[in-house]
Amino acid sequence: MLHLAKKGDLGEYLFWVGAAIGCIVLATLVILWYRRKVLGPQGLDENVSLLDELRAMKARGEISEEEYDATRHAMASRAAGKPRTPAGPRGVGADRVAPPGFDLTGAPLPEPEKPDSGDQRV
């Protein structure tokens, strides 16, 4: 049933197992080298360039200090592998209320149309 290895066959068996493991290691190294060459460097360099861009946006006034801090925190959490925390309501009160006669931007609301004085039904 089973072919029992002779003492001389064990050395040949170990040679071929070692050769197979060596081929697998060599193929893995070639694939990693090719992937790095084709895809380019990734990882922290990407986060650093994004952080520099974020700082420049804050310096130009394109984003506020709060937006900068929230985005920087999200980038740091993602780079560290931490789960994202859901965004909560901004400010103390989540509901914004405009004064009477004005919308939330501060612009006055349009005047309502006044009904005609006559009773005209069609």
What's the pLDDT score for residue 108?
92
DSSP conformation class of 122: -
The number of helix segments (H) and strand segments (E) in the chain equals: 3, 0
Show the 3-state SS of 73-92: HHHHHHHHCCCCCCCCCCCC
Say if 95 falls within a structural domain.
Answer: no
Q: Give residue 120's pLDDT band: very low, low, confident or very high (50, 70, 90).
A: low
Cβ neighbours around 50 below 10 Å, total: 13
Say if 53 falls within a structural domain.
Answer: yes
Say if 66 falls within a structural domain.
Answer: yes
What's the pLDDT tens digit per position in 96-106?
888 898 988 88
What Rg, from alpha-carbon coordinates, does the chain have? 34
What's the pLDDT tens digit per position in 9-33?
788 899 999 999 999 999 999 999 9
Cβ neighbours around 63 below 10 Å, total: 15
What's the pLDDT tens digit per position in 43-56?
555 556 788 888 89
DSSP conformation class of 36: H
What's the pLDDT score for residue 54?
87
Say if 4 falls within a structural domain.
Answer: no
What's the pLDDT tens digit per position in 37-92?
887 655 555 556 788 888 898 999 998 999 999 988 888 888 777 666 666 555 55
Say if 90 falls within a structural domain.
Answer: no
Say if 91 falls within a structural domain.
Answer: no
> In total, how many domains does the chain have?
1
Say if 68 falls within a structural domain.
Answer: yes
What's the pLDDT score for residue 109?
92
Say if 118 falls within a structural domain.
Answer: no
Whether 54 contacts 72, CB under 8 Å: yes
What domain range includes position 75? Answer: 14-80
User: Which residues have a Cβ under 8 Å from the Cβ of 102 and sit 6 or more positions away?
Assistant: 108, 109
Task: Please give the share of the chain, as a percent, with pLDDT higher than 90.
Answer: 25
